[in-house]
Amino acid sequence: MDKLIEFDEKNKVFHLHNDKISYILSVEEGGYLSHLYFGKKVNGYHGQLRYPRVDRGFSGNLPESLDRTYSLDSLLQEYSGVGNCDYRTPALDLQNADGSFAARLVYQGYEITAGKPKLEGLPASYANADEAQTLALFLKDAISGVEVTLLYTIFKELAIIARSAKVTNAGFESVELKKVASMQLDFIKQNMDVISLPGAHANERHIQREAIGQGRKVFESRRGASSHQMNSFIAVLEHNADEFSGEVYGFDLVYSGNHSFEIEKDQFEQTRVVAGINDYNFSWHLEAGESFQAPEVLLAFSANGLNEMSQNYHELIREHIVRGKFKHKEREILVNNWEATYFEFNEDKLKTIVDDAKDLGIEMFVLDDGWFGHRDDDNTSLGDWTVYERKFPQGIKHFADYVHEQGLKFGLWFEPEMISIDSKLYQKHPEYLMQVPGRKPSPSRNQFILDLTQKAVRENVVAQLSALLDGGFIDYIKWDMNRHISDVYSVSLPKQRQGEVYHRYMLGLYEILETLTTKYPDILWEGCSGGGGRFDTGYAYYMPQSWTSDNTDAIARQTIQYGTSLVYPPSVFTAHVSAVPNHQTGRVTPFETRGAVAMSAVFGYELDLTQLTADEKEAVKEQVKTYKKIRPLVQFGDFIRLKDPAKGDQCAWMFVSRDKNEALVFVFDRLASAQPTLTLTKLAGLDPAKNYQDQKTKAVFSGSELMELGFYDPVKRHDFTADMYHFKAVTD
């Protein structure tokens, strides 16, 4: 493989590059790392971006230096430590044994290796020796002995740099880490905006865009999860950038816990981005000889707008995050019984749904909450993963066997991180519950958190699930988490280490997931946290798909799925057709529209099939038949956003095959009008020189016609409509 990383020994410049991007940094005076450039590929660098020397008032200088023109307070840096006359947001904050807050990180050396190293105990992107190269930069604080290793991986085919940081205490006394960011990126003065993905339960990942002004702005989660409320991603982009033009920088944290993205525009209108684990209630006691590994951030660059950034993330997540046999496997169409029955079911009732699923061509039945303990509502039994005998008197395997006999696969819902007070597990092990000594813990959904920092708790979870999974009758697991963490304390840790609980919880969860997904590779694992409350790239490392939102309303889902696609490919998010009036919004939406939205991801149903009319069952058969034809394109083609539902009355997106021989387009209209405005839909991502045939009308258009001219959308006479267009390339 060609060199992707080069080092100019004379000028102390590192240049990471492929056919798409360049990332350039240098070792500056005093041994500090200076950021020079991240953007479109450059063929060479000749030193013109050395930071200008300017005497700045109130910006201090290096120790024992009389040069007033060189200050860490203004220099564009790669990774800043605390206490060095740099008054901006630092990447590393620590307290030394003498009580001081200081870390002067000076360059010591480097190493370049093929491929990409694993991050111990953490999810991260992966690559073979012929797919990527990694640069390790070694920094050290001479007084404390604290060492920082910065990792930069550049992928051969992608406009993405993977960055992380590892802190090692090579000194003789312990230190307290107060903040360990995964990365820092400094920008010279530019007119830029920031995009974040805020939301709420059943209303996740809306695209929020705002101008970056002077001061400090933080996008974060303090909930012990990546959260519905603020996803673990931001983008910084040119003010005029849009879906198809302008420079965009993406920052995706590969982590499922508390996160923080800090943006600070300084007094010189330079912008600093710092990303990593949230320092809220965080500290890490680092003894001599110990190390702390920060999670990875995926830095993406696009010179052609947001869609190009998204496609890079989609490719990386599909090829370098998702693992196992389902990485390139088409996912089955399923029906989940939750909105059909909630807790009111028994084996006979479920069999009627299975029978209809078989007749309709559905490929999997998933049994949701209520099958274990004595669970007839959401107040009991969490922690006791044994079969509820009243509902399944012959055991869960007996029912699973029936599902398999009908030609369907069988899936099961779990919530293994939770515990109920009435559970047998709590009665036997009250110390497993996470709570602050002397204080009553706070319920949420009347459930509590298992303390996964404890080894015994982790072993109990693995043992209980293994007892069921060893039976070999479960094909799919939906792993849920229906509350966020509170009462943060672990009886397994001394008082000076209680600031480690949030992160140790995540490390414990990752250990469990690694153990189970490795032990049971033939099971399809789906993530869930009340829908999209832990929808992040870190989770995709263990679970190749996740439930996007508990909101199944097709109109609400347009906005949710549109925002989700900014980072995540449709192959990792699931969408289901549900009943009307919708159980979350009360909205009545046409069956065709519900199907079109759900077919834009990993497809399924969330309703009682036995209650459908004859016409609706025929519609399901057609949807299932259609999805099986388009499934490879939806799950593994290039996804392109066309019309943002937050900016008008329409939403549109499309899928294009890698060879550009096939395209699938969905256009959604919301409210009809007595005097409708005529609208056009213009496609993207096609080959302008190829001709494409509409598979419904058989009309033929050139790719350039479809992209430059577009076509008129049908005039609508009722609300909440959807149109699907399927094009295939033809030869003359």
Phi and psi at residue 669, to the nearest 5°: -115, 145
Q: Are 294 and 316 in contact (CB under 8 A)?
A: no
What are the tens digits of pLDDT across the range 378-405?
999 999 999 999 999 999 999 999 999 9
Residue range 269-311, pLDDT digits in tens = 999 999 999 999 999 999 999 999 999 999 999 999 999 999 9
Q: Is residue 217 pLDDT above 80, yes or no?
A: yes
Residues 6+ apart with CB under 8 A from 229: 198, 199, 200, 221, 223
Average pLDDT over the chain, rounded to an integer: 97
Q: Let me know: does 284 contact 503? Beta carbons within 8 Å.
A: yes
> If pLDDT is split at 50, 70 and 90, which confidence band does 181 have?
very high
Instruction: Extract the tokens encoding 124.
Output: 């991260």
Is pLDDT above 90 for 1?
no
What is d(CA 507, CA 516) in angstroms, rounded to the nearest whole number?
14
* β pairing state of 160-169 and 230-238: unpaired
Catalytic, 73? Answer no
Residue 451 has pLDDT above 90, yes or no: yes
Phi (first) and psi of residue 438, to 5 degrees: 80, 0
The rounded distance, in Å, linking the Cα atoms of 448 and 451 is: 10
Whole-angstrom distance, CA of residue 507 vs CA of residue 511: 6
What was the pLDDT predicted at 438?
Answer: 96
Q: Name the pLDDT band for 372 (thresholds 50, 70, 90).
A: very high
Q: Which position among 550, 638, 644, 713 bears the catalytic label? A: 550
The whole-angstrom separation of Cα 232 and Cα 561 is 16
Give the tokens for residue 404: 């398999």
On whether the CB atoms of residues 236 and 212 are closer than 8 A, the answer is: yes
pLDDT for 123-161, tens place per residue?
A: 999 999 999 999 999 999 999 999 999 999 999 999 999
* Radius of gyration from C-alpha coordinates of the chain: 27
Note whether 197 and 550 are within 8 A (CB). no
Q: Who's near 21: CB < 8 A, 6+ residues apart?
A: 38, 39, 40, 41, 154, 159, 160, 161, 301
Find, among 709, 707, 697, 700, the residue nearest to 656 by Cα.
707
For 357-370, the pLDDT digits (tens) are 999 999 999 999 99
Q: Please say whether the beta carbons of 536 and 527 come within 8 A.
A: no
Distances in Å between the Cα of 91 and the Cα atoms of 185, 272, 497, 681 are: 10, 10, 21, 45
Contact 393, 655 (CB under 8 A): no
The Cα 223–Cα 485 span in angstroms is 6
3-state secondary structure of 45: coil
* 3-state SS string for 216-243: EEEEEECCCCCCCCEEEEEEEEECCCCC
The full length of the chain comes to 732
* CA gap 219, 252 in Å, rounded: 12
Q: Which residues pair with 387 in a beta bridge?
A: 372
Confidence of residue 2 (pLDDT cuts 50, 70, 90): confident
Strand pairing class (160-169; 291-293): antiparallel
pLDDT tens-digit readout, 583-613: 999 999 999 999 999 999 999 999 999 999 9
Tens digit of each residue's pLDDT (9 = 90 or more) over 43-97: 989 889 999 999 999 999 999 999 999 999 999 999 999 999 999 999 999 999 9
Q: Does residue 683 or residue 50 have the better pLDDT?
A: 683
Give pLDDT, residue 611: 97
Tokens of 150: 């910065």
Residue 31: how many other CB atoms lie within 10 Å:
16
Q: How far apart are CA 186 and CA 267, in angstroms?
A: 13
Question: How far apart (Å, rounded) are the C-alpha atoms in residues 543 and 571?
Answer: 11
In the structure, what pLDDT confidence band is assigned to residue 731 with cuts at 50, 70 and 90? Answer: confident
Q: In the annotation, is 550 catalytic? A: yes
Count of alpha carbons within 13 angstroms of residue 567, beta-carbon side: 30
The pLDDT value recorded for residue 211 is 98
Give every CB contact of residue 730 below 8 A, 6+ residues apart in sequence. 691, 692, 693, 700
pLDDT of residue 98: 96
The pLDDT > 70 percentage for the chain reads: 100
- Distance CA(340)–CA(236), nearest Å, equals 42
Residue 545 makes CB contacts below 8 A (sequence gap 6+) with 326, 331, 524, 526, 527, 571, 572, 573, 574, 602
SS3 state at 195: strand
Residue 300's pLDDT is 98
Which of 356, 384, 480, 553 is flagged as catalytic? Answer: 480
Which pLDDT belongs to residue 44?
87
CB 246 within 8 A of CB 240: yes
Q: Which residues pair with 668 in a beta bridge?
A: 651, 722
Q: How confident is the model at residue 407 (pLDDT cuts 50, 70, 90)?
A: very high
